[in-house]
Amino acid sequence: MADGSTDTSDISAVVGIGHTDYVDDYRRVRNGEKPHDSYGYATVAFKKALADAGIDRSEVDGLIVGPTTAYERMGEILNIDPTWGGQADAVQAVFQAVMAIKSGMAEVVALVYGNDQRSAAVQYGGPQAMGGQSFLSYVYHSPWGLTSQGALYALMFQRYKALWDLSDKDLGQVAVGQRQWASLNPNAIMSKKPLTIDDYLAAPYVAEPLRLNDYCLINDGGVALIIMEASRARKVAQKPVYIRGLGRSDLNHQATSLGPRLVDFYRPAQQKAAQQVYSAAGIGPKDIDALLVYDSFTPHIFFALEGFGFCEQGEAAHFIAQTGIGVNGKLPINTHGGHVSESYMQGWNHQIEAVRQVRGGLDQRQVTDCRHVQYISDVAGKAMSVIYGA
């Protein structure tokens, strides 16, 4: 059994990032255009990441693609025959790249994601929900109307809200804080749409207690990262951003009855993942300059803050109110606007923001003296975290 410590620090570094123009992609799709399919969006992002890294495609010997595209076909389009490759979601792709580099199977790994979910009218809930057997909610809970992740997180937060006597306004702090950051981000779809707490409370419920602005956007786009072996990165990259640590722990026991979600809000897995990632990086929660949390729905932020030790159990609402997570807050969270205000790229755009914050130069959006950025994901009981650093 693993002892909770992992040797994942400074094995690799991000040397290139790229993404499509989320705002223009959104505008064009709303106007009835179809700029690209998922492969096209991924290809645009990949070319930008290569240019940012200053390397040629021939140097890429590892390829990981998002679950929205087929690995073999994506490799064919990009003309890459890697020595190591596969398919994964955003955070697992980073883990796999680090492990491939550590094992010597690859030195330069491209992580490539594209999604035409809006133009393709993908449904994440209802009788035609995508995923089928891949998602427990669609299989086991559809007789009760729980066919979407939104419904599950609504149920999860409803219990949390009752336990700690919270109000809708407490949850609204998250959406408002992230919209503040989005207003400083020209890449954010919602950058020109301010959100006050009154606006938040006036919006309708989608699945109570979650309102419209608690839900992520649905938009087309693409993201790519180039991750390189650390010593090579130090020689060739202008400003490499190192992966300082990884942490992961899963909760599968009683998952079909929603036990891990409703009883402990995934906290035991988060605490184990926290021990790993902080041990690897040699730091703790107080050393994190900016926090990026997978936010398909705003309650993710509450669970991440408590599970990874930023505050005690049941104190997230008070912590957010007192500390501040928006612009001028003491713990900046989702400084790009996150999934609810920048772009829903299923965690991939959070990796881009982490790299940009560590690199610096983001004007008003830049976190001062930003040296450590942590990413946290707790999707479907997989508690995972990455710490990026200078």
Mean pLDDT value across the chain:
94
Other Cβ atoms within 10 Å of 114 Cβ, number: 29
pLDDT confidence tier of residue 381, bands split at 50, 70 and 90: confident
User: What pLDDT was estimated at residue 379?
Assistant: 86
- The upper half-sphere exposure of residue 136, i.e. CA atoms within 13 Å in the direction of its Cβ, equals 13
Chain segment 200-243, per-residue pLDDT in tens:
999 999 999 999 999 999 999 999 999 999 999 999 998 999 99
For residue 268, give the H/E element and its range.
helix 267-281
The pair of three-digit structure tokens given for residue 265, joined into one six-digit string:
């809000």
Chain segment 279-319, per-residue pLDDT in tens:
999 999 999 999 999 999 999 999 999 999 999 999 999 99
User: What pLDDT was estimated at residue 16?
Assistant: 98
User: What pLDDT was estimated at residue 1?
Assistant: 38
Question: Which residues on neighbouring strands pair with residue 290, listed in sequence order?
Answer: 373
Closest alpha carbon to 266 in 308, 303, 310, 302? 303
Buried b (16+ CB within 10 A) or exposed e, 260-275: bbbebbbbebbbbbbb
pLDDT confidence tier of residue 3, bands split at 50, 70 and 90: very low
User: What pLDDT was estimated at residue 255?
Assistant: 85
The mean per-residue pLDDT over the stretch 93-114 comes to 97
CB contact at 8 A, 142 and 96: no
User: What pLDDT was estimated at residue 157?
Assistant: 97
Chain segment 27-77, per-residue pLDDT in tens:
999 999 999 999 999 999 999 999 999 999 999 999 999 999 999 999 999
CB contact at 8 A, 373 and 357: yes
User: What pLDDT was estimated at residue 134?
Assistant: 59
Quote the percentage of the chain above a pLDDT of 90: 86
Taking 90 as the threshold, does the pLDDT of residue 5 lie above it?
no
- The size of the chain, in residues, is 390
Chain segment 126-169, per-residue pLDDT in tens:
766 765 555 555 566 777 778 788 988 999 999 999 999 999 99
User: What pLDDT was estimated at residue 147?
Assistant: 79
Which residue is it, tokens 């809708």? Answer: 168
User: What pLDDT was estimated at residue 135?
Assistant: 57
Cα angle value 71/76/79 (rounded, 5°): 120
Q: Amino acid letter at 118?
A: R
Phi, psi of 376 (to 5 degrees): -130, 135
User: What pLDDT was estimated at residue 146?
Assistant: 80
User: What pLDDT was estimated at residue 309?
Assistant: 97
**Active site residue ranges:** 294, 344
Chain segment 339-370, per-residue pLDDT in tens:
999 999 999 999 999 999 999 999 999 999 99
Q: Amino acid letter at 297?
A: F
What pTM was estimated for this model as a whole? 0.95
Question: Which residues on neighbouring strands pair with residue 246, listed in sequence order?
Answer: 386
**Local structure of 18: helix, strand or coil:** strand
Range with lowest mean pLDDT among 7-11, 124-128, 366-370, 377-381: 124-128
**Local structure of 88: helix, strand or coil:** coil
Rounded Cα distance, 295 and 190, in Å? 15
The pair of three-digit structure tokens given for residue 172, joined into one six-digit string:
């609204």
Rounded Cα distance, 113 and 121, in Å? 18
Fold designation for 12-120+217-389: Peroxisomal Thiolase; Chain A, domain 1 (3.40.47)
Taking 90 as the threshold, does the pLDDT of residue 86 lie above it?
yes
